Structure 1
């Protein structure tokens, strides 16, 4: 893929808002909207490029729908963006739509800083952040456009993070905000790291263009790295070596963001300053946070954003929607299929028409309250929407799913045993692949890919229940509690919770090429870097041969394991090249030489003394279902 095609792919992916449109949509916008482009001054004098779409009918006032993006407000000049707003329903209803290049990107002035820290108690005019830039922009819009005094904000991914920023010190005109798959914490769980482990594949390809220094404002963004020399990412990253060697491929490109990633390998003040979660207090606008259970980038963000507001801003109208979607896919199509998996219902269409549009219409135009629940959650196993009074549901009870001898898995504690462990060799020279496909870019398919390819490797442990005699409904946060030992001084542990379909399950007629019999669907998979087991700020080495407890957040799930299925847990120590390789030696991994990578024997215990298990929130009571 050429540099041009890589850049075009990124531009179209993010500037389109993930949406699809038709010729009729384009014609409608041409006939009903006009466009103006302005450079709005910020408090420090920098001007941010802003595209404004105004209804041609100026006989009445309109609310403003506002999105800030690092991915370009294109098209620039005479061209018109299609669609306008989160969906064409908004364009047809009539709003003022505003799109802004954030500070330092495309045609906006200033210096770009990814996940710019929030500055509380600003005292100087040059103290700016994303919250103040949003405030200054909205203040200008309210004073200069024919509006009704109400502003709604939305965005997906990084724009979702900028939507979150508008909740902090929000402008009085902002009444409704929808952070969707919002970038929230790049060390703990979004995009760049998970539990301290570096997300290599997605970060390298993305940051190679996104983080590159620009010389001047331009309608064209910096081009990314393209000298892969192979279509196989596994081969490319393995041959490239450790992060120290990979770093050299981007250092010459003047990429400040990449250098930040390479020099902040712990949860230090750099990373702590870059999450908005501690600042989501006294939130005044209504909030609709949206995420997808199969989001390959930002599952962490929506879950933690909703939770932070619920805990710190109890009076806020705070709602969460989680559907069976990958990153941003709720903006298009029906949402009844995800690749080869059927979800039976038009989940995306239902969300757009019955949740998102009524939410903004109520707060921006005074339409009837849609009576949305605090949590609108899609169960990916039962294939059904549920309404809950909070997330996780208060009815969910924590239960331990224990690893057992002979590759067993049960809610009963393991039997007494002096040999309650199993070993495997983790070899960094032959890491476990994250996918069975030959691909250069991370993609999203691995989130639902059949995990049988991994289960057959000797360096992947497999534990499974007997065939379930009744449904098991998991609703809420999952936590892994592993008792491990290693011959090395550091290690990664990847835990996957898997739904194993019956061997006799028939294929869907619509997708005859998918073999569903025995399919191993990854409900949730997460990585933990063991040196962070006590503290993400102050890592500690493992003591070779010593049994240690490693506990970590596996994020949330909403999935019913149906009667006749089995539950499975897979455990491994590499997930390559999705996650960078661990040298299995306690050190600064970003500076590891090729000689530092050593094989290690990992043990996972399941005795009465060391009962490794996953904590699952099990829902055993009935709840309200929604029939779209």
Structure 2
């Protein structure tokens, strides 16, 4: 009996990975049986050749649309007889039958030319001028003309950086491009990935660029190896590294050009503004479906902002948005039922892929494409109630704006604070002992941190905690959040981190997928979090120091949510000033460029958050 029990437990633990392996084997076999692979060098208008792989159905009884993915992350495996183990956005679409084309973007892997990160868009082009939109146009033109048995319709998709190339592809204006799905698209690197409101996301940027940013002097089927930290403990690694100026001296050795450029531009100047694709998203003709994850640690901003910008600037374009309870790309490569310790009660990704994504592309690429597909404007997952919701607009119009005020004794309430008593809380922020962003020992930014239990942080003296009484009814927040703080500091600079948290009741049931050591009773689930580098409180292009001990308004915008705080739960807000190593350490002494800060610039400071009737601090929310 013991043996059988242990075998059963082992099967439960291993089943997700076994199922994934079985799916991969099944897909791989299907591709070889049903698709023919060919490799091509497609010449762009300036003579540069881009390496492109085409997987075409062996069945010639019908014509197929082309699905294009342009990527800086390799279209491999390269060479005759070497096949991908999956094709397209999903196994569903692969089995439905499309021509799938993958292209190494200019300057990456087997493509010729020079790679430029987030290559700026050229508004007025000459005949030989190139940007990523012209490369997309030339690629589509070649594919439609040269790939046999295509029906003359093209769709484009991509996740993350390929999502950016999908967004830029909308600007190609090639008439064959009928449908496009930017998914978690990189959009503006002063808010995406590497920065959040001017604060620098250290492990994410360093770990990515230490490999991706290495020079590639000529076409190659291999990329740079991953950086070896020499330790599993990223907190210790980045603390020992010291000021950011040591990154080159100790590890990068000036070999990563973009790191050097980034450190020379700490403010939102013309360098960053030129890489922002949003001002160019006008006159969009293809149908668009932007996809993102509520818990995407990398490009949540990009998904929401791409949808909102296209919606605002292109009122006649079919434009829809899908947001699920996913990590970065989780809709494509997971069941979407859990993230970290949190359960969403259903396989959200397995619903999305055939019922939303495949339906969108099928309508515009295979069917007559008259009218619009039977999909809502906004298909959004409510992460507290664990249910899909459909909206005619996002943010939804049927919301009421309310203010959640900070009060004395750690109270959070919709009631404005009354006079009397101490009207502020304070804490000492020490850059030498910063608040960790996670309890997990890791060298990078974990995808689970956005739903992690925050009890470890709430017990620190340098984290302020405010929470409501136990809720007597459900409260659903829908749309953007704004944290409006009244603060002061004894220093001349500071970061401000705000976290919105769902506090579970002490009697909350265990989630079956968790080990017994994870207790959901009293769990403090992070729902949304954000950081603002205080020097940018008034202008991201023109930083300014704080006047020590002077009360100052600091607004911290938080990304959208759709979350129900259930009856019996509490709403909590945490405020802190360090979040390490997720965010680099602010010296707390104003220096022109924190990338050039010296060890002696880092100093302790006492920060205050005020909540008097005259100087209230609050979270502005939209209640559905």
TM class by smaller structure: over 0.9
Shift of 1:251: 4.0
Which residue number corresponds to residue 11 of structure 1? Answer: none
Quote the Cα distance in structure 1 between the aligned partners of 2:164 and 2:556: 24
Which aligned pairs between 1:118-133 and structure 2 lie closer than 5 A?
118-125=121-128, 127-133=129-135
Cα offsets for 1:431-478 (capped at 9, x unmatched) = 000001111222212111100000000000000000001111000001
SS state of the match for residue 31, structure 2?
helix
SS state of the match for residue 171, structure 2?
coil
Cα offsets for 1:18-69 (capped at 9, x unmatched) = 9984322212111111111111111111111000111112343211000000
Which residue number corresponds to residue 314 of structure 1? Answer: 315
Which residue number corresponds to residue 65 of structure 2? Answer: 63
Which residue number corresponds to residue 204 of structure 1? Answer: 206
Which residue number corresponds to residue 17 of structure 2? Answer: none
Which residue number corresponds to residue 619 of structure 2? Answer: 614
Which residue number corresponds to residue 364 of structure 1? Answer: 365
Q: Are positions 1:254 and 2:258 aligned together?
A: no
Which residue number corresponds to residue 16 of structure 2? Answer: none
Which residue number corresponds to residue 526 of structure 1? Answer: 530
Q: How many residues align?
A: 599
Q: Are positions 1:389 and 2:392 aligned together?
A: yes
Which aligned pairs between 1:452-471 and structure 2 lie closer than 5 A?
452-471=455-474
Structure 1, unaligned stretches of length 5 or more?
1-17, 620-628
Higher alpha-carbon deviation: 81-90 or 281-290: 81-90
Quote the Cα distance in structure 1 between the aligned partners of 2:596 and 2:25: 52
SS state of the match for residue 409, structure 2?
coil
Which aligned pairs between 1:90-109 and structure 2 lie closer than 5 A?
90-109=93-112
Is the Cα–Cα contact under 8 Å of residues 340 and 452 in structure 2 kept in the other structure?
no
Change (3 A) 1:589 1:106: same
Report the aligned-residue RMSD. 1.4
Instruction: Say which of 30, 38, 41 aligns to 2:40.
Output: 38
Structure 2, unaligned stretches of length 5 or more?
1-19
Quote the Cα distance in structure 2 between the aligned partners of 1:253 and 1:33: 44
Is the Cα–Cα contact under 8 Å of residues 153 and 163 in structure 1 kept in the other structure?
yes
Which residue number corresponds to residue 480 of structure 1? Answer: 483
SS state of the match for residue 291, structure 2?
strand
Which residue number corresponds to residue 29 of structure 1? Answer: 31
Cα offsets for 1:221-248 (capped at 9, x unmatched) = 022431x232111111111101111232
Quote the Cα distance in structure 2 between the aligned partners of 1:430 and 1:509: 36
Which residue number corresponds to residue 556 of structure 1? Answer: 560
SS state of the match for residue 528, structure 2?
strand
Is the Cα–Cα contact under 8 Å of residues 248 and 254 in structure 2 kept in the other structure?
no
Which residue number corresponds to residue 351 of structure 1? Answer: 352
Quote the Cα distance in structure 2 between the aligned partners of 1:389 and 1:572: 37
Which residue number corresponds to residue 162 of structure 2? Answer: 159
Quote the Cα distance in structure 1 between the aligned partners of 2:111 and 2:553: 49
SS state of the match for residue 607, structure 1?
coil
Shift of 1:396: 1.6
Is the Cα–Cα contact under 8 Å of residues 250 and 258 in structure 1 kept in the other structure?
no
Quote the Cα distance in structure 2 between the aligned partners of 1:23 and 1:244: 47
Which residue number corresponds to residue 586 of structure 1? Answer: 590
Is the Cα–Cα contact under 8 Å of residues 399 and 411 in structure 1 kept in the other structure?
yes
SS state of the match for residue 94, structure 2?
helix
Which residue number corresponds to residue 378 of structure 2? Answer: 375
Shift of 1:511: 2.6
Change (3 A) 1:510 1:239: closer
Shift of 1:583: 0.3
Shift of 1:151: 0.3
Quote the Cα distance in structure 2 between the aligned partners of 1:253 and 1:217: 22
Is the Cα–Cα contact under 8 Å of residues 499 and 527 in structure 2 kept in the other structure?
yes
Give me the TM-score of the superposition, normalised by structure 2.
Answer: 0.94
Which residue number corresponds to residue 266 of structure 2? Answer: 265
Quote the Cα distance in structure 1 between the aligned partners of 2:512 and 2:361: 38
Q: Are positions 1:545 and 2:546 aligned together?
A: no
